[in-house]
A and B are shown apart, each in its own frame.
Chain A
Amino acid sequence: MSPNRITSPTRRQLLWEAGGGLAGIALASLMQESAEGATHFPVKAKRVIFIFLPGGLSHVDTFDYKPRLAAHHGQETKGENTITPFFGKRGTVMKSPWAFRQHGQSGKWVSDLLPHLAGRVDDLTFVHSMTTRSNAHGPAIFQMSTGFVFQGFPSVGSWISYGLGSENANLPAFVVLPDPRGLPPCGVANWGNGFLPAAHQGVIFGDERMPIADLNPPSAVSPSTQAATYDLLTELNERHLRDNPGEDQLVSRIRAYELAARMQVSAPEVTSIAGENERTREMYGLNDPVTRSYGYNCLLARRLIEKGVRAVQLYNGGHFGTPRINWDAHEDLVANHTKLAAGMDKPTAALLLDLKQRGLLDETLVVWTTEFGRLPISEGLGEGGRDHNPEGFTSFLAGAGLKHGFSYGATDEMGYRAAENPVTIYDFHATILRLLGIDHTRLTYYHNGLKRRLTDVHGRVLEHLLS
């Protein structure tokens, strides 16, 4: 009952904050009353990779096959079906410019836009009835990233870091790999720790030379000076600690410097792909300029997962501006989605396959999503773009604890509204936490008068998805 700030930090908590997570302290302390072990539920997935496609990927042109769109092509929406687009330019029904075919044992319909992912459908669990609260990018992106439409709440990855900690103290628990074309819309707020301690902030991994900001000093500092400085600092701090016995915080800060030193070694180890063979490089598209940079991030995601990083957030698509570098196909759906899909499809499929072949998919959850879908009508009369659709869109999950080759929920025959088993972002997040062994109603943090949750006061686990 008492707010968490009232209880004094225990030595364990301090060590954990210092380490960026040695063990799941949040859960461990939340679990004290329960007899189930380290988590609320049996753990299906130990780690999670989020793939986010900012801008709004069109579900009706990818995985949500709507043959009726062709029949209604060119017609206006009427009566209660009248659609009010975000920008107000109401066009007519627009069929998908891509042909759809069935794939895999599951016979899943997938458009020709995504030939590589089409080959993986039997490993995927689709949710076709996703809904979100806002038709504007900012709030919708925040909701997918943090559960709330407002800025400033902890991200999903931060909650998971807070709940489970890291399995590898030498790397951050939560790593972010932005699209090399630029940060996603709303920037770092997407992986912010909000009111959770700074240890749960997502840490951006950049290039191979400097994977983490300030990992190494500028080149003007020689390695011998750097090493001597560390030694001197350790000596000063230890002397100071002897003069100030009983101070946990001082111990914890000394430990943070030890971990930082270890991170300087382990971070470049994980970002260097010198040891990856040619087949792997080809599979991830590293030999092709169209797929190379995102392909590297996909490969890095696998390597981070292998090292025990708890959550990896990948982006395919950057922020807004001209020219468009994300999926926000207002003007020309064909040009926009063709270009972006060419960069996204192959590496994503490679990651899924690679994880499976290495047995990692048995203990890893992959979440592939966007902030909202796109409308089944054109944006403006006779034009070729689609506006935002928060009423229904598609995401998929893959990995441990899920029914594979399974589709859940459906939009109406036009692909506009989630008509069957609508799923809120709260439900989606609750299900993700459940797969990680966490009860979304019990992972809480006191802030400004409330025990805050990722799922606010909502959310139900989508039991139908679970195997």
Chain B
Amino acid sequence: MWRRALLAIAMAPAVWAQDSALALLAERCAKCHSGSAALSGFDLSTRTGLLKGGKHGSAVTPGDPASSRLFQWVSEGKMPPDARLTEPQIQSIRAWIESGAAWTGPEKLQVEAKRAGRDWWALQTPQRPEVPAAASNPVDFFVLSKLRAHGLEQAPVADHRTLIRRLSFDLMGLPPTPEQMSEPYEKAVERLLASPHYGERWGRYWLDVVRFGETDGGEHNFERFSAWRYRDYVIDAFNRDKPYNQFIREQLAGDAIYPDNPGLVAATGFLVAGPWDSVSAELNKDLAMKAAARQDELDDMLTTTFASFQGLTLNCARCHDHKFDPIPTRDYYRIAALFNGSGFGKREVATGAERTARETAAAPVRAELNEVRARLDEIEGAVRSRLLIEKYSAFDAARAKEAKRIPVNPLWNRNAFAPVTAKRFRMVVVSSGKDAPLVRRLDLLPGGTVARDWRGAEAASADRPAILTLNFAEPRTVSEIRWASEAAIKVYRFEWSVDGERWTTLCSSLDHVAGSELDLPDLPEAELLSALSPPLREERKRLLSARVAAQARYDAIPALTAIHAVNPHSTTPAYVLDRGNVQKRGEEVAPGALSAIGQISCDLPSTATDSERRLALADWIASPNNPLTARVIVNRIWYYHFGTGIVNTPSDFGFNGDRPSHPELLDYLANAFVEHGWSVKWLHRLILTSRTYRQSATFNEKAHSIDAGNRLLWRMPLKRMDAETLRDSILFAAGSLNQKTGGPGFLLQKKGDRGSYIYSAVDNDGPEVWRRAVYRFVVRGGDRIMLDSFDCPDPSVATPQRSLSNTPVQALTLMNNAFVLRQAGILAARIGSDPDPIRRASHILFQREPSAAEIATGLRFLKDQPLAAYLRALLNSNEFVYVP
């Protein structure tokens, strides 16, 4: 409207000046300077805001352009920053301010924003649009209103065969049997929603959203043999129609709520379902690189959580405030803090009784093992340490002239300091790997050996250090220690004290060369043996075989259930990182959630534990007052039914994402979903019984010219089967499908040997691999398999929407792959004895009678060619692969 005003020349000058100035403000300024996210806090979209000014002070003094900053800056060309206003434009601003900066007409400028502010639609509480009482189904009411506004109508209702097929593929990912074709529609809906195959189909969608894979990815790409428990949890949740708010809470904090229930601890597999760089996390000796890798882990967890449940792209705020959505960097690091006690790895989950049972079985064997070990240590320990120390001190002596300390090592360490005279000393071991520390010998210099074969009670850690205390009757002067350990003492300090209360450090592992390891040869077996007497040699031999036997019995005791799920550990202080750099810490922040969601808050003290943090986040997301949660999930369900979302970027409800095609419908569904107990099956029923869902896929030239993308739903789209549905349907048609549910996945790719981390495709055949594709062991970066050609994504990134492409490689695969040929052969054998195999095939594959022309074509083909070849062509046909 302002734009039109620019052209108006016949108006009174003052009105003309106002209209043209406001049009300029709307077009050239307000994209950055309007709304709650206005740059420099200057919102010129209303007169109040204009007069109030911003960070730089007042902007407009009515009547006085010269002292109005707005005029100064536009005339200097300082604003707008993209391109200077033209001279007539600048003069119109001047004229307008001079004449009093009048503002008649609409109170607020109409602005096409450049980014989302806190007033972004998706962050507002969903509206409650009215549905007329007469409307039979609210879905139809909203969809039809919009269609009619565009002068369009829906396609006619599809025929019964089409509907039953559509339902079956949509809800189960499998074709119906010929017998199911006569079932009434409503009855079919209920049967399918109650089928265990429903969860397999709809759980698979969720696994795409959360980037579920069963190997680590990357260089080492280790298998996660227990990750299937998360997949089974998801399938089961859909089958049970678990309330969605509970589904959220279990995936984020199931371990905190139900610590003894493996199935629900496994739900937290959500957080650790993504790729994991185990090499950087575990092997890298460069601490800066390691810290950066840990920050990447947190980024993966929070990105997936917010994309999956909130439809927000939080990761953009890692280096700078989100450029398009109201997510400041500070929020990002507060949210990262929510996860900073959550790690990767496996964890044991067991009830108290299971733990006791295992301990009862394990304790005697462990005692036996310890006894054998102790005796072995008696026999060889002293000899070993003597021989090793000899070897090592020679090496040490050779380096002594360089006056360097050698890295902390298992054998012979020395550490010097300014002399101290005291009666009390102690060695504090802070880290000793997974075994208890062992000090073979400790010498104080000047002087000599003061301890031998001292062993800590358990593995030492910062929380529970192992302490070797030395109390002398007389004061002694010490200026150097030398010690041998033969066990992995990694971090220690040596201290002295006057009163035994307050201790002062004399030296520590920090004084050694950091970050290096020396590779010294172990003591050769022969050298050790030659130092032992013959009877001791004999006894040692017996003990060694006893140890092997006992160890085997120990290993045979069934382990507690260990599952791939989130691995909690202690939290650490969290900081805002400058441009995401772990080396550049800024302000310390406490854990919290998004500040832009004003309806609810999630503020935690820095002392909150890992489980408290995740639980608080779970409650915040699962709150009925969170404006995004219900909208995002109802939109996902809608998207999978119709192939197009109300918001057609299901994991992005931000500025860069799509705008809702039917905002009232989205809000209606979101509110009703929560009111119906967050029931996904309730939502399915509502959608499936609508006329919108039941319309045919008939093409309509006029509608296509207005809305080629079918966003208005003038028909049901024709949908290509996704990769899993295609494979499963071929197996189903052939009668081969193994309907076993759950448990470890079957292998289509296998890891190489000789330390390789490459997974090659294996042509396994038989009932074990004829299970539904959702039960496949999902390898990241594995060798190409048939599913890949059909856009089944590698789960290294989340895939809220799959591509559905058509490529020659796909054609080659479906035509020539051994799997397809074999299944065509099996189907041929199944129907070969049928008097009318052409009709039978049509019933099995298309659930319809063949036409006379088809029968003629088929008979002509079968004169010279085998039935399997005929079926192979049918399995490749567009009619099989596309479901209307």
Contacts and interface: CB of A to CB of B under 8 A. Distances in A.
Interface of A: 2-3, 5-8, 14, 17-20, 84-90, 134-139, 141-142, 149-153, 172, 182-183, 185-189, 192, 194-199, 201, 203-204, 212-218, 220-221, 224-225, 228-230, 232-233, 235-237, 239-241, 244-247, 249-250, 252-257, 259-260, 263-264, 319-322, 380-381, 446-451
With most chain B CB atoms within 10 A of its CB, the pick from A135, A220, A236 is: A236
Counting from the closest, the 10 A-B pairs by CB-CB distance are A152-B796, A449-B313, A88-B285, A138-B219, A8-B709, A138-B218, A246-B699, A189-B781, A260-B811, A152-B797
15 contacts: A8-B710, A17-B806, A86-B285, A136-B277, A149-B296, A228-B861, A228-B865, A244-B699, A254-B878, A256-B808, A256-B810, A320-B219, A320-B755, A380-B519, A449-B649
Interface residues of B, dominant DSSP: loop
A260 B808 contact: yes
A187 B217 contact: no
A447 B795 CA distance: 14
A463 B808 CA distance: 38
Contacts of A217: 815-816, 821
A20 B704 CA distance: 26
Given A151-B218, A186-B221, A229-B873, A218 B821 contact: yes
B652 A448 contact: yes
Contacts of A142: 218
B546 interface: no
Contacts of A257: 808, 811, 815, 876
Given A151-B781, A322-B754, A259 B811 contact: yes
B515 A90 contact: yes
Given A17-B806, A197-B803, A232-B870, A136 B518 contact: no
A237 B307 contact: no
B811 A448 contact: no
A212 B812 contact: yes
Contacts of B275: 150-152
A151 B798 CA distance: 11
With most chain B CB atoms within 10 A of its CB, the pick from A20, A187, A255 is: A187
Nearest to B655: A449
A450 B656 contact: yes
A363 B795 CA distance: 37
Contacts of A380: 518-519
A7 B285 contact: no
B583 interface: no
Contacts of B130: none
B872 interface: yes
B659 to A, nearest CB: 9
A46 to B, nearest CB: 22
A188 B313 CA distance: 27
A5 B758 contact: no
B877 A246 contact: no
Contacts of B221: 186-187
Contacts of B718: 244, 247, 249-250
Contacts of A214: 809, 812-813, 815-817
B866 interface: yes
A381 to B, nearest CB: 7
B818 interface: yes
B651 interface: yes
Contacts of B801: 5
A212 B806 contact: no
B551 interface: no
A289 to B, nearest CB: 21
Contacts of B582: none
Nearest to B792: A198
Nearest to B801: A5
A392 to B, nearest CB: 15
B720 interface: yes
B516 interface: yes
B652 A197 contact: no
A8 B703 CA distance: 13
B186 interface: no
Q: How large is the interface on B (under 10, 10 to 19, 20 to 34, 35 or more residues)?
A: 35 or more
A188 B756 contact: no
B877 A237 contact: yes
A153 B797 contact: yes
B818 A3 contact: no
Interface in B833-880: 853-854, 857, 861, 864-866, 869-870, 872-874, 876-879
A361 B874 CA distance: 47
B816 A216 contact: yes
B368 interface: no
Contacts of B798: 448
A322 B821 CA distance: 37
B800 interface: yes
Contacts, number: 302
Contact of A88 (B517, B791, B857, B873): B517
Given A186-B219, A198-B789, A249-B718, A320 B757 contact: yes
B297 to A, nearest CB: 11
A420 B68 CA distance: 49
Interface string B692-727: 000000010100100011100000001010000000
Contacts of A197: 791, 803, 805
B39 to A, nearest CB: 19
A135 B854 CA distance: 62
Contacts of B515: 84, 88, 90
B878 A192 contact: no
A5 B656 CA distance: 12
Contact of B758 (A187, A220, A450): A187
Contacts of B470: none
Interface in B628-667: 648-649, 651-652, 654, 656-658
B316 interface: yes
Contact of A240 (B307, B652, B754, B879): B879
B256 to A, nearest CB: 28
A322 B755 contact: yes
Contacts of B418: none
A246 B710 CA distance: 14
A149 B701 CA distance: 47
With most chain A CB atoms within 10 A of its CB, the pick from B515, B754, B812 is: B812
Contacts of A19: 808
A237 B280 CA distance: 51
B869 A229 contact: yes
A250 to B, nearest CB: 5
B157 to A, nearest CB: 18
A70 to B, nearest CB: 22
Contacts of B307: 448-449
B691 interface: no
Given A201-B788, A239-B854, 14 more contacts: A20-B808, A20-B809, A86-B284, A139-B293, A150-B275, A197-B791, A197-B803, A215-B816, A228-B865, A240-B879, A244-B718, A256-B808, A321-B757, A448-B651
B866 A256 contact: no
With most chain B CB atoms within 10 A of its CB, the pick from A138, A182, A241, A246 is: A138
Contacts of A236: 854, 857, 873-874, 877-879
B808 A259 contact: yes
Given A236-B874, A450-B313, A189 B780 contact: yes
A189 B219 CA distance: 11
Contact of A138 (B279, B782, B882): B279
Contacts of B797: 150, 152-153, 194-195, 447-448
Interface in B473-528: 513, 515-519
A45 B879 CA distance: 43
A447 B720 CA distance: 21
B656 A449 contact: yes
B388 to A, nearest CB: 18
A195 B816 contact: no
Nearest to A169: B808
Interface string B262-281: 00000000000001010110
B536 interface: no
A84 B285 contact: yes
